[in-house]
Amino acid sequence: MAQGALKPSKGKALSKPNIPKKAAKKIIAPRKNSAIVSAKLKKKHGAAIAVNTEKLLSSRVGHLELLKGSRREIAKSEALAKAKKEAKGK
């Protein structure tokens, strides 16, 4: 049997909002001087290496499709060039 009325319980007080921390960096920065220098060079020349590799592979495959600009920009420039040729011809 119950001995008496239940005491009213207070809700749990939140001290801080429950926001997860940001994810940690995936790449840990080097600390040795030689490693810092090589990391800088790798970052600087990484894009050039990728571009040269793409050129090499595409030339071996047999088609080179390195276009500057988007499809619409290329079509627009071709249309302007065609219009200039027609204007000079008349």
Residue 46 lies in a domain: yes
* Least confident window among 6-10, 36-40, 62-66: 62-66
Residue 9 lies in a domain: no
Residue 63 lies in a domain: yes
pLDDT band for position 28 (50/70/90)?
confident
Residue 64 lies in a domain: yes
Q: Which long-range contacts (CB under 8 A, 24 or more apart) does 73-78 make?
A: none
Q: What is the C-alpha separation between 7 and 11, in angstroms, rounded?
A: 13
pLDDT tens sequence across 39-85: 999 888 888 888 888 888 877 776 656 656 667 777 888 898 998 88
Residue 7 lies in a domain: no
Residue 23 lies in a domain: no
pLDDT band for position 3 (50/70/90)?
confident
Counted domains in the chain: 1
Residue 25 lies in a domain: no
Can you give the pLDDT at residue 24? 67
The residue segments making up the domain with residue 46 are 33-89
Question: Which of 45, 42, 66 has its CA nearest to residue 56?
Answer: 66
Can you give the pLDDT at residue 36? 95
Residue 47 lies in a domain: yes
